[in-house]
């Protein structure tokens, strides 16, 4: 048999000795190197652009947070300042004159609530915003109110309040943000005048502005971050009661053996129907707190409690439960009173004293001062909110003005003069025996029993000596005006949500 040899497929000669094939290999390798280098360059460029973008996103986020916090800080500042200020003074500004022109369109009226408009806020220099706010009318600035020829003291300036932080690159501080605050009347106000309040409701708007970090090399500066918050505040009328002494409870007892001692004390209801008003916390049972109080009064003491309801033959004592309306109805909620006495007032008070207190004459803390013969915005007027979480015992001679809230027993001796309101909420015991109390305004007493929820208990009251408690509208409004306002609305705004 004859064998046939089959040759395999020729294999190219790739050895270095093959000069014709070598240049082709070099060209392919160069091409691959160029392609690889291009790919890695693009990846590097992409990573660099991504890192820059991430830095900008981080900076913008930080700036936005700073603006948001600044706007919130402005609203909190306003909430703290508003207590005791006259709303009309705020609406008209420190010069006491409404110099703005109120817009006629709805969009203009919303824009009127901003101290600086949105476009100005995005471009202003937060280090020195003078050019952005220069020439603006002062209406809506927080101020103490014009007195005579003297303008009110500005509390939040037109140039805003700067927020600072330690300089991370050196000594001193850097300004991170700034807030601007303005007060306007609510459009539903009953008199139609945007610079006069008649329903005790105002709108406070706070604008926070923070600058983004500057581009390296002096590049284009990005727009400021802007955040705006708005709140509506209503002056609380909860304790605007129609008697200079109000005792609340289903049971009312003497704090001492006798509720009324001697024949020298006087409770003057003035134009109010009653000198002593009672609030019945349980009208469904047979207990009658009005009768309980009157039963402790001798007939020869009837003239000592005066009001427009009655002749001298009858004491001016009456049940005011059915006459409560609006904010006053909150007095029928023990949870509201508990929160007010143990949470709200301590947060706003000028002086907070925990535990039982004994104050005597010159050793008493600053309790404020107020002269009823002078205007409320006279610079010499200094009412205060004083809070005692415990018993308060007084001795010697002392005076004060504004609001005094005692959660324990109020008692003592000597002379004690007060202009405003005294609230005894908690233990609900006002033992004024042995004291010569001169009170212009009002006294409110209620007992609360701890629980979940809290409940009403038995209130106690005693008066004697030469005490004189007088209804006085100016003094009552002084006390009410120094209570923290009620926040009835709150929202965050954007330029698209603000027509």
pLDDT digit string (tens) for 415-436?
999 999 999 999 999 999 888 9
Contact between residue 247 and residue 449 where contact means Cβ atoms under 8 Å apart: no
Which of the pair, 327 or 498, is modelled with greater confidence? Answer: 327
* Per-residue model confidence as pLDDT tens digits over 165-217: 898 888 889 889 999 999 999 988 888 899 999 999 999 999 999 987 655 55
What is the rounded distance in angstroms from the CA atom of residue 453 to the CA atom of residue 438?
36
Which of the pair, 386 or 495, is modelled with greater confidence? Answer: 386
Contacts with 312 (C-beta within 8 Å, 6 or more apart), sequence order: 302, 303
Mean pLDDT for all residues in the chain: 89
Least confident of 14-28, 62-76, 437-451: 14-28
Distances (CA, A) of 471 to 274, 388, 430, 442: 10, 24, 18, 7
Residue 11 pLDDT: 55
What is the rounded distance in angstroms from the CA atom of residue 12 to the CA atom of residue 3?
27
- By three-state DSSP, how is residue 1 classified? coil
From the CB of residue 28, how many other CB atoms can be counted at a distance below 10 Å? 10
Binning pLDDT at 50, 70 and 90, where does residue 341 land? Answer: very high
DSSP 8-class letter at 495: T
Residue 1 pLDDT: 47
- The pLDDT of residue 118 is above 80: yes
Least confident of 306-320, 338-352, 398-412: 306-320
Contact between residue 428 and residue 447 where contact means Cβ atoms under 8 Å apart: yes
Q: What would the mean pLDDT of 142-147 be, rounded to a whole number?
A: 92
- Domain spans in the chain, listed from the N-terminal domain onward: 53-236+486-493, 245-481
- The pLDDT of residue 498 is above 90: no
């Amino acid at each position: 048999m004859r064998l046939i040899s089959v040759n395999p497929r020729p294999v190219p000669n790739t050895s270095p000795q093959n000069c014709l094939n070598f240049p082709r290999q070099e060209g392919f390798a160069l091409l691959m190197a160029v392609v690889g280098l291009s790919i890695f360059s693009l990846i590097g460029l992409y990573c660099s652009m991504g890192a820059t973008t991430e830095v900008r996103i981080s900076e913008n986020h930080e700036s936005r947070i700073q603006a948001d916090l600044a706007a919130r800080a402005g609203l909190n500042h306003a909430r703290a300042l508003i207590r005791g200020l006259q709303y009309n003074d705020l609406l008209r500004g420190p010069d006491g004159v409404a110099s703005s022109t109120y817009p006629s369109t709805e969009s203009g009226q919303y824009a009127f609530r901003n101290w600086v408009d949105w476009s100005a806020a995005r471009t202003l220099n937060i280090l020195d915003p003078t050019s952005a706010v220069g020439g603006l009318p002062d209406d809506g600035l927080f101020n103490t109110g014009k007195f005579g020829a003297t303008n009110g003291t500005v509390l939040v300036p037109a140039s805003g309040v700067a927020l600072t932080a330690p300089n991370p690159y050196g000594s001193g501080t850097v300004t991170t943000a700034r807030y601007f605050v303005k007060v306007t009347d609510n459009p539903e106000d009953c008199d139609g005048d945007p610079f006069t309040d008649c329903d005790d409701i105002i709108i406070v708007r706070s604008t926070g502005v923070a600058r983004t970090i500057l581009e390296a090399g002096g590049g284009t500066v990005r727009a400021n971050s802007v955040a705006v918050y708005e709140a509506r505040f209503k002056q609380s009328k909860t304790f605007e009661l129609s008697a200079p002494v109000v005792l609340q409870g289903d049971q009312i007892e003497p704090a001492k053996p006798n509720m009324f001692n001697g024949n020298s004390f006087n409770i003057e209801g003035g134009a109010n129907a009653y000198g002593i008003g009672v609030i019945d916390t349980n009208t469904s049972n047979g207990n009658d707190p009005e009768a309980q109080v009157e039963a402790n009064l001798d007939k020869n003491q009837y003239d000592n409690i005066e009001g427009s309801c009655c002749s001298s033959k009858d004491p001016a004592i009456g049940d005011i439960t059915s006459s409560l309306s609006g904010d006053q109805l909150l007095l029928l909620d023990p949870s509201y009173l508990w929160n007010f006495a143990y949470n709200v007032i301590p947060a706003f008070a000028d002086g907070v004293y925990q535990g039982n207190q004994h104050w005597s004459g010159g050793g008493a803390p600053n309790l404020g001062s107020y002269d009823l013969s002078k205007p409320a915005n006279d610079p010499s007027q200094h009412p205060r909110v004083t809070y005692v979480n415990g018993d308060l015992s007084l001795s010697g001679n002392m005076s004060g003005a504004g609001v005094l809230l005692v959660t324990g027993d109020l008692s003592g001796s000597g002379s004690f003069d007060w202009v405003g309101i005294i609230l005894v909420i908690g233990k609900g015991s006002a033992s004024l025996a042995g004291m010569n109390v001169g009170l212009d305004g009002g006294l409110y007493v209620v007992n609360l029993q701890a629980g979940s929820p809290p409940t009403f208990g038995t209130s106690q009251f005693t008066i004697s000596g030469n005490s004189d408690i007088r209804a006085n509208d100016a003094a009552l409004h002084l006390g009410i005006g120094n209570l923290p306002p009620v926040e009835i609305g709150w929202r965050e705004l954007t330029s698209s949500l603000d027509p």
